[in-house]
Amino acid sequence: MTSNDDVSVLKVSSSDIPESERVTRLRDFNCRGEVKAELEIRAGEPIIANLTAHSLPDAHLLLGTLFGAKLVRSRQFVVDDGDDSLVLVFNRSGTIGVTGRGRNLLLGPGDAVLASAEDATTFERFVAGDCFSLRVPRRVLAPIIMDVDDAVMQVIRDRQAEIGVLVDYATSLVREHALATPALRELGAGHLHDLLALVLDPTDDVRESAGRHGAKAARLRKAKFLIVNNCWRHDLSVGSVAQELSVTPRYLQRLFEADGKTFSSFLIEQRLKRAHRMLREPEFVERPVSSIAYDVGFGDLSYFNRSFRRAYGATPSAVRRGAAE
């Protein structure tokens, strides 16, 4: 391992490690350089690894390959370390299986997926190849991507240009030793965050949030973030959000109407999404539906049930049963 102030580099190669020590060294590397996870060895297969991790403030890069083993981030790891980071995994070649949130995904060459450290997840390479990953704290993406949880565990196949720019920029930072000085590190990390946001949400709103254009769009986006992050509050209203933005309630309503929604419909949508996630999470299995409805901001259980069924085509209890099954 090498380090320079607040940046560190970890490298590991199975060709440099005696076979008897490979599992121990790889487990140590994985816990120090990436999200903590257990290394499960596939019986009868040699472990092939050639990995380099670059850690800098609010951004962690991992490049290389791991074959012959499975990475398992169990529920126990999630509970123990409290890590809430998000990681974009880009499969450059070969095939990777990713399991989490009740989904089994297969990433072919050029595919990517966003995973959350708050979920029990497994990663397994079925065909040898290289990958690239970028891990950032949730607080970095939360102000940039609207309801970032919607992007988790969705295969990304249609944003090759955006991914290409992100990967090329990240590898150039490493190749040109641009992370060696504090000023370049801070600038590089900021650029990585913006490029990751464009991969996950390549819309005009995200470009505007990076300063490209649009005061009205910026205000609307800030209003949406305030709602997403505070939708559970029973006192949240168009008036309170408008006051936070230093605009009139009518001006804020017009911003939403121009976007094709009303303030109220957007608020209800976010509360329902929050309830839907809670109903599918094991830690809330003992929580009554009425309690969940209240926790996400609804004061009327009948209205919650009608709105939920209209949005998801199923009752809250049915969604919970489906998640358990």
Least confident of 202-206, 224-228, 311-315: 202-206
- Is 193 in the same domain as 256? no
- Is 88 in the same domain as 232? no
Q: 164: which 2 tokens? A: 């290409």
Q: Which range scores top for mean pLDDT: 72-81, 108-117, 120-129, 244-253? A: 108-117
- Is 47 in the same domain as 168? yes
Confidence of residue 109 (pLDDT cuts 50, 70, 90): very high
Predicted pLDDT at 1: 43
- Is 194 in the same domain as 222? no
Strands, DSSP E only, in the chain?
2-4, 7-13, 38-41, 48-56, 59-67, 69-73, 86-91, 95-100, 103-107, 112-116, 121-127, 131-136
- Is 26 in the same domain as 113? yes
pLDDT surpasses 70 at 135: yes
Q: In this structure, are residues 304 and 240 in contact, taking their beta carbons and an 8 Å threshold?
A: no
Confidence of residue 3 (pLDDT cuts 50, 70, 90): very low
- Cα(230)–Cα(271) distance, integer angstroms: 9
For residues 57-95, b (16+ Cβ closer than 10 Å) or e, as one string? eebbbbbbbbbbbbbbbeeebbeeeebebbbbbbbbebb
Predicted pLDDT at 296: 94
Number of domains in the chain: 2
Q: Which range scores top for mean pLDDT: 35-49, 119-133, 205-219, 220-234? A: 119-133
- What's the alpha-carbon Rg for the chain, to the nearest Å? 22
Predicted pLDDT at 271: 95
| Segment 259-284 mean pLDDT | 91
- Is 203 in the same domain as 230? no
Among 166, 184, 208, residue at a domain's last position: 208
Report how far apart the first and last C-alpha atoms of the chain are (Å, whole number): 45
Q: What are the beta bridge partners of residue 63?
A: 52, 132
Among 208, 240, 257, residue at a domain's last position: 208
Q: Provide CB contacts within 8 A for 52, sequence distance 6+.
A: 9, 10, 11, 62, 63, 64, 174
- Cα(225)–Cα(172) distance, integer angstroms: 32
Among 155, 189, 208, residue at a domain's last position: 208
Q: Which domain range does residue 40 map to? A: 2-208
For residues 246-264, b (16+ Cβ closer than 10 Å) or e, as one string? eeeeeebeebbeebeeebe
- DSSP 8-state symbol, 19: G
Least confident of 7-11, 166-170, 297-301: 7-11
Question: pLDDT tens, 139-175?
Answer: 888 777 777 888 899 999 888 888 988 888 888 777 7
- Is 189 in the same domain as 299? no
pLDDT surpasses 80 at 85: yes
Predicted pLDDT at 214: 45
- DSSP 8-state symbol, 60: E
- Is 219 in the same domain as 72? no
Least confident of 60-74, 178-192, 310-324: 178-192
| Segment 190-215 mean pLDDT | 67
- Is 37 in the same domain as 182? yes
Class of residue 211 by CB neighbours under 10 A (exposed 0-12, middle 13-18, buried 19+): exposed
AA identity, residue 173: L
- Is 195 in the same domain as 225? no
What's the mean per-residue pLDDT of the chain? 83
Confidence of residue 203 (pLDDT cuts 50, 70, 90): low
Q: Provide CB contacts within 8 A for 95, sequence distance 6+.
A: 106, 107, 108, 109, 125, 126, 127, 129
For residue 171, report the phi and psi dihedrals to the nearest 5 degrees: -70, -30
